[in-house]
Amino acid sequence: MKSERAKVLHEVAGRPLIAWAVENARAAGARRVVAVLGHQRAEVRAALDARFGAGAVEVAEQLEQRGTGHAVQSALPAIAGEPDDAVLIILSGDAPLLRPERVAELARACDASPSHLALMSTRPSVPVAYGRLLRDPEGRLLRIVEHLDASPAERAIDEMNAGFYAVRLRELRADIASLTADNAKGELYLTDLAARAAVRGGAAVLEAPFEEVSGINDRVDLAGVEAAARRRVLERWMVDGVTVVDPSSTYIDADVGPIGRDTWIGPGVALRGRTRIGARVRIDVGCVLTDVELADDVVVRPYSVASEAQLGARAQLGPFAHLRPDTILEADARVGNFVETKKAHIMAGAKASHLSYLGDVSVGARANIGAGTITCNYDGFQKNRTTIEAGAFIGSDSQLVAPVTIGRDAYVGSGTTVTKDVPRAALALTRVKQVNVEGWADRYREENDKRRGRGGGGKHEP
């Protein structure tokens, strides 16, 4: 991947590659999941623990990278207590498009196979260096030859090994010890299990579409798989009753959901992380929502951004609004254009419609925040909280210097800087008294015209 990160930590549809493998195994019914880790194993283990819980995915270490057969050998001590009749599924960590139902099908084929080995094949639509399946005249699988070891005639075979296996532990334990590194790579090939299974009646082979089993070896592969995964995600939601106006420009991560029926998603929208969306929600053009919860009937107007926020039923956001983490909009609350929030609790029916910053604040029910209002929450050393109680009215261009409380039903006049608490139903004013000087503008222009040599006249020339 030419990257500082391990390949399995690169993401497809917002989910690390290794997480796709674990999710697929679990969805197929696996009792235990063991990840065989080598390169950057500490970082990969930390990612698994963060996603699934500490120790939920067991880890086996492959201290040397000596091939796929050696990787499976490295996992055997972790499952030493499993009975001989248990079925082991072997999945690649870089093939996220494999469907869980395919994994379950592979396990069933293993049980039905006389050799108790089942593997998956594919017929690639593009040239790839995969192993070829060699069969006898009756179609029984004899062995798999890797691309580097294959003759020109063998390389002409279009049926190739996809790299997924199901095998009963009794047979695996017996066969894995007999693997040798007598091949072009000098590695232990897991594909050699096919030849061992041939003497027991042959492995079962399930064919899968190439797109579904395609692995990732570089950023080109990553982009291709990403496009396929996102298309699959969008199709799932559209089938479930969600309108996606322009699938080609819409990005929904694999972990997003649920999304309620009759939700409408405009072009250029990105839904990320574990975003959850209710029914009849409208998300307009260009919005980016990350780990956000939207209740029923929420409206998100164009080009709004929200992260780790919650919007209650019928709440309205945007356009061009920014909800930073720990923002809560209760039912019927409104946050409008060019309003930014952070650690803000906007209660039911409250409004902040224009050009405001609301940080570390509680805004009571039905309160109104005028344009240009700022909660001055940072004093250079610590963050302080502002409380605006229910029904309060904050006039435009006001600064609320925290910590401060605006009482219930109080008014703050436009242009006021509030530095102390405002009692219930009081009016707070700090603006300087206005003075009008009659005729001043005409006299000012005349004086300037005289300086420029234009003479009087009292009229301003642009």
What torsion do the CA atoms of 407, 408, 409, 413 make, to the nearest 10 degrees? 20
Cα–Cα dist 290/222, whole Å: 22
CA distances from 4 to 9, 45, 245 (A): 10, 16, 37
Q: Please say whether the beta carbons of 270 and 301 come within 8 A.
A: no
AA identity, residue 265: I
Residue 354 a catalytic site member = yes
Could you tell me the two tokens for 322?
Answer: 């920014």
Cα–Cα dist 95/85, whole Å: 27
The 8-class DSSP code of residue 443 comes to H
Task: Characterize the bridge pairing of strands 316-317 and 334-337.
Answer: parallel
Cα–Cα dist 375/316, whole Å: 21
How many other C-beta atoms are found inside a 10 Å radius of the C-beta of residue 239?
8
Could you tell me the two tokens for 50?
Answer: 């963060």
Catalytic: which of 10, 70, 354, 460? 354
End-to-end CA distance of the chain: 63
Question: Of the candidates 326, 265, 268, 337, which has an alpha carbon nearest to the alpha carbon of residue 298?
Answer: 265
Q: Which residues are catalytic?
A: 354
